[in-house]
Structure 1
Amino acid sequence: MGGGVLGTMHAWQAVLRGHEVIHLEREPEARGASVRNFGLVWVSGRATGPELDTALRARELWSQLGERVPGLGFRANGSLTVLRTPAELAVAEAFAARPDAAARGTRLVDAGGARVLNPALRGDFLGALWCERDAAVEPRVAQPALRAHLAESGRYTWLPGREARAVDGRGVRDDHGDHHGADLVVLCTGATLSGLVREIAGEVPVRRVRLQMMQTEPLGERLTTSVADGDSLRYYPAYRGVELDALAASQPQPAVAAEHAMQLLMVQRADGGLTVGDTHGYAEPFPFDVVEEPYEHLRRVAEDVLGRPLPPVRHRWAGVYAQCLDTGEVVHRERVADNAWLVTGPGGRGMTCSPAIAERTAEEVGL
């Protein structure tokens, strides 16, 4: 249940292991966080321990899938986290000296080295963290491409526009009144935690997080890597430590960036446009509209890094994803009935980690 990337990866694991799969999605097409994101397979910022281990395994699985399913748009483009101040550079130097930097495929490069890796970066900066293991996919087409691949097995049925209403010992009943027989039910409902999820699981230890992003017209040149700015050092758990405390003390974020918990992430899409973001909002009820100030801030930072104006913005959007309250947990995985499991709450790690999360689920439930 759930047609986003997490549900689709669970379907892939089941088909891969020889099972028949019925895949329900309440919308005509997945419309949640799985398509409203950067498409990043982001190893570099993951916390040491289970989160990093999951991301590294997921990176292997994404690469394998990319070879089998070209429509995913998988590319091992790496990333550059651009450092524009001495305080950001100090955090990066300490991070690059850690023992697990090599496992992440991360090293510090100077400004010239960064421009060799990505000639489109013509702004002023001191250096960058280069992560060769970071990658990207095309989020708007990845799930349909994977579903088409699964359908070739003859053991996969995609049923959109079907909302599950009840789970029993024999399977699932949907809102059309149809009953779908199943030995195992996996609920990957994303940020939808009400309705059936609340009925069978109660209150789940996850919170919802809202983001704002945008996408531009084609850049007109190739952005050879994904790009982050120094504010991502504040956001990703890999960078936490004494040096980061010093960064926070000596270099507070601009007011709009602090208010919206912002960082710059920038990825080029297959058509040449740039996906640019993002913000983080934690207080519900979330606003129903998007606000312009964060977009203005993102434009300024992106243009400073690129050393040129951004192309016109084509799309703006907001999205909501589910994140474990204990952010040290990669995902919330819970048995909610004899034959049913709930898997949710990967947070901003969903696109990155979903192949490995689904593999772990398959192992735990004995597929």
Structure 2
Amino acid sequence: MHYDLIVVGGGIVGLGHAWAAAKQGQTVAVFDNNPRAEGASIRNFGMIWPVGQPAGTQRALALRSRTLWRELGAAAGFPVHECGSLHLAHHDDELAVLQEFAPSTAADGLDIELVTPRQIADLTPAANQAGLKGGLYSHTELRVTPPTAVSSISAYLADAHNVKFHFDSPIIKVDSGEVTSSHGQTWTAERIVIATGAYFQHLFPEAHQAERLLICKLQMMLTEAQPAGWNLGPHIASGLTLRHYPSFRDCPSLAAVKQRFAEDSPQLDRYGIHVMASQADNGGLILGDSHEYGDDIEPTDKAEIDALMLEELQKIMNVPNWNITRRWHGLYAKHPTQMCFVCEVRPEVLVVNGFGGNGMTLSLAFSESIIHRWRNSAQWEVLHGTN
């Protein structure tokens, strides 16, 4: 069968392209190696996180994605919680970073405010008030449950937009206008998007390698359900997180935060640990995470990493139930210098990859821009952003 668009990869990046094209009335097919999406798109916090994106193109895309998530949740029937986020400062240098960051966001759409320990107590029961200096509350962030959201989006696209899903169908060859599966079947399309995330070894590996993509492994955990009526409220992040997201990179006090952690807790830098928490729909808390790259990645998880994360989380949070019911890891592909990359590997065949941990936050708006520019024959170079 012939389609306007074929998408290889059933994660959130692939689904974003499928949705954007289907909304324009295009015929679309999505192919995935597995019986369902099983990669990074279902192994994350479910955070849509504009506050972590640097000002400019990335933050604008994050805010547009926020709008699209709300639209898609309403259409596909899955919850999109407008929970916001809360960065906690338990040290003076962390509070200084938040105070430096807050004025810089006034003109670009983030709805944030500095909050006192007393105000934090009203926002969440989880914050450890001992030594708490203050925090930064953002009204902007959203929460979805990744497996529910991804499966609901697929079902909605199939039912409402007649998108054809071919699961358990590894694509082993792609030419202009044509894809071939491991079963020997061939499909044709006007245009093709390759969005295979960390699993890019089998389709145009040379294009990915030329971009020097990094594979990142992260470890995460889920607690048992918290007591009935206990709600985390906003996503929670600690001072460690200020080291991770590029939105804080220009704050003068960030250097002091980085130096303190490097001197006091070098193992946190070794494993790329910064701690965050989000509440799952079952009442448990999703906790994480860590970042190991390249040759440091092992097939088994490290108990030391989980212990370090729990130790840091218990410094900043008071939670009724810390019992862990699930542990897992995810893999994603990260571009070393850009927010992602787009490469036309054949005429009318695009590889889109390298979002790192920002796929949930950026991909819906970025996919929309790809489909719009493709329709209007724009040059791909203008889509490259930098961190």
TM-score (normalizing by structure 2) = 0.90
Task: Decide which of 336, 339, 361 is 1:330's aligned counterpart.
Answer: 339
Amino acid at match of 1:31: E
Q: Report the Cα distance in structure 2 between the residues aligned to 1:247 and 1:264, rounded to whole angstroms.
A: 15
5+ residue gaps, structure 1:
none
TM-fit CA distance, 1:60: 1.3
DSSP 3-state at the match of 1:34: helix
Q: What corresponds to 2:315 in structure 1? A: 304
Unaligned ranges ≥5, structure 2: 1-7, 377-387
Which residue of 2 is the match for residue 9 of structure 1?
16
Shift of 1:69: 2.1
Across the aligned residues of Structure 1 and Structure 2, the Cα RMSD in angstroms comes to: 1.8
Query: Of residues 100, 106, 110 in structure 2, which corresponds to 1:104?
Result: 110
Q: TM-score when scaled to structure 1? A: 0.94
Q: Secondary structure at the match of 2:187?
A: strand
- Aligned residue runs from structure 1 range 316-355, under 5 A: 316-326=327-337, 329-355=338-364
**Alignment partner of 2:127 out of 114, 121, 131:** 121
Query: In terms of mean alpha carbon deviation, does 192-201 or 3-12 score higher?
Result: 192-201
CA contact (8 A) 1:256 1:294 kept: no
Q: Is the 8 A contact 1:209 1:281 kept in 2?
A: yes
Could you say if the C-alpha distance between residues 82 and 110 of structure 1 is closer, same or farther in structure 2, counting changes exceeding 3 Å?
A: same
Counterpart CA distance in 2 for 1:93 and 1:154 is 46
For residue 30 of structure 1, give the secondary structure of its aligned residue in structure 2.
coil
Which residue is equivalent to 2:195? 188
Distance 2:261 2:346 in 1: 50
Q: Secondary structure at the match of 2:301?
A: coil
Partner deviation per Cα, 1:261-282 (whole Å, 9 max, x = no partner): 1111100000001110000112
Structure 1 residue matching 2:121: 3-state secondary structure: helix
The 10-residue stretch of structure 1 (299-308 or 210-219) with the greater mean CA deviation from structure 2:
299-308
AA at the equivalent of 2:324: V
CA contact (8 A) 1:87 1:250 kept: no
Aligned to 1:203: 210
Q: Distance in 2 between matches of 1:199 and 1:348?
A: 22
* Separation of aligned partners in 1, 2:107 and 2:98: 11
Alignment correspondent of 1:233: 242
Aligned length: 364
| Native 8 Å contact 2:22 2:161 kept in 1 | no
Counterpart contact for 2:55–2:108, Cα < 8 Å = no
Worse-matched range after superposition: 332-341 or 101-110: 101-110
Confirm whether residue 76 of structure 1 aligns to residue 109 of structure 2.
Answer: no
1:172-200 CA distances to partner (integer Å, 9 max, x unpaired)?
A: 11111111121111000101221222267
Task: Check the 8 A contact 1:265/1:277 in 2, yes or no.
Answer: yes
**Contact 1:218-1:311 at 8 Å conserved across structures:** no
Distance in 1, Cα, partners of 2:343 & 2:244: 27
Aligned partner of 1:249 among 234, 246, 259: 259
Percent sequence identity is 29
Cα distance between partner residues in 1 of 2:125 and 2:107: 24
Amino acid at match of 2:69: W
Deviates more, 1:230-239 or 1:46-55: 46-55
Matching of residues 122-201 of structure 1 within 5 Å: 122-124=128-130, 125-153=132-160, 155-198=162-205
